Amino acid sequence: MPTLRQIIDESKAKMAGNFAESEWMAGVWLAVEEVLSFSRKDLVARPESEIPSNVARQFLGMIDRFSMGEPIQYILGYSYFRYLKLHVNPAVLIPRPETEWLVSLVLEHVQEKFAMGVDACTGSGCIALSLAAERPSWRISAFDFSLTALQTAALNKAETKADVRFYQADALNVHQGEATFPLDFVVSNPPYVPIRESGEVEESVKMHEPSMAVFVDSDDAILFYKAIVNQYFDVLKSGGWFFFEIHPGSELLLKEFLEGLQGIRFWFEKDFKNLSRFLLVQKEVA
């Protein structure tokens, strides 16, 4: 039977040359911990631990797929987001740390004990389920255009036990009767990468993640933001909020759009790379 050290060395050999080590080591170790049940400390403390041959073959097969650019989260079938372990597949985006930060902004600014909110373009349900899990007294609804994405969200709801009502809708033409009004907030991580900038997106994202959740196939890069604000503004409570994850390159377009509206205040917040990644819009208190 191969040892833990041998498995790690073979994984490194498979990945070497394909990506920078900083890009793939986290994925390899996620697979080691989830499939082999070993930690990084074990490589130091007991590197000669033996791995059953069938488990080693399964693991190295996953590494083969990973070395070809398939995201490790899709290979494993799940990803971690804040305090939740969520199913993911090519029908939904892989939850990212920036979106965890978006949830933190909602929790920071919405102080009502019994708040009502909507998550637009929910995908795996990561935002809505996290909010419902961390604020169980809130009433959260969430929608997506993709039925396959909603199937994944429903599976995550069943396993996390978080109380979210999912439904199908098009963010560009929302059937508002599905949500509960008036709302304390709307949160969204909509498609925001202009299709003309697809060359700047990581190849693994273009090859494996759902393009309709990533790219805006329109000359209007802020199409979804305008639609969501325009459709939900009137049903937002006085003092209510919009929380968005945004494309840093869209900041000026969004600023121009929002400066044309009455009765709001807004600002942008930076991400880990000091890029404008979040937009907060508050309806003025009447």
Percentage of residues in the chain having pLDDT higher than 70: 87
SS3 of 98, please?
A: helix
Q: How confident is the model at residue 173 (pLDDT cuts 50, 70, 90)?
A: confident
Whole-Å CA distances, 148 to 70, 93, 156, 168, 275: 19, 12, 13, 10, 32
* More confidently predicted of 32 and 113: 113
User: Which two structure tokens, joined as six digits, stand for 82?
Assistant: 């804040």
> What is the rounded CA–CA span in Å between residue 114 and residue 35?
40
* More confidently predicted of 38 and 262: 262
Q: What is the pLDDT of residue 44?
A: 80
DSSP, residue by residue, 19-72: S-HHHHHHHHHHHIIIII---HHHHHH-TT-B--HHHHHHHHHHHHHHHTT--H
Burial of 98 (0-12, 13-18, 19+ CB in 10 A): middle
Q: How confident is the model at residue 269 (pLDDT cuts 50, 70, 90)?
A: very high
pTM: 0.90
Count the neighbouring beta carbons within 10 Å of the beta carbon of residue 63: 24
Q: What is the pLDDT of residue 201?
A: 58
Task: Work out the mean pLDDT of the chain and round it to a whole number.
Answer: 88
Residue 229: pLDDT over 90:
yes
Beta bridge partners of 264: 283
H or E segment and range at residue 151:
helix 147-160
Nearest CA to 233 out of 283, 162, 196 is that of 283
> What is the rounded CA–CA span in Å between residue 95 and residue 87?
10
Whole-Å CA distances, 191 to 120, 227, 278: 11, 12, 14
Q: What is the pLDDT of residue 212?
A: 65
Mean pLDDT of 114-134: 97
Torsion angles phi and psi, residue 165, rounded to 5: -100, 110
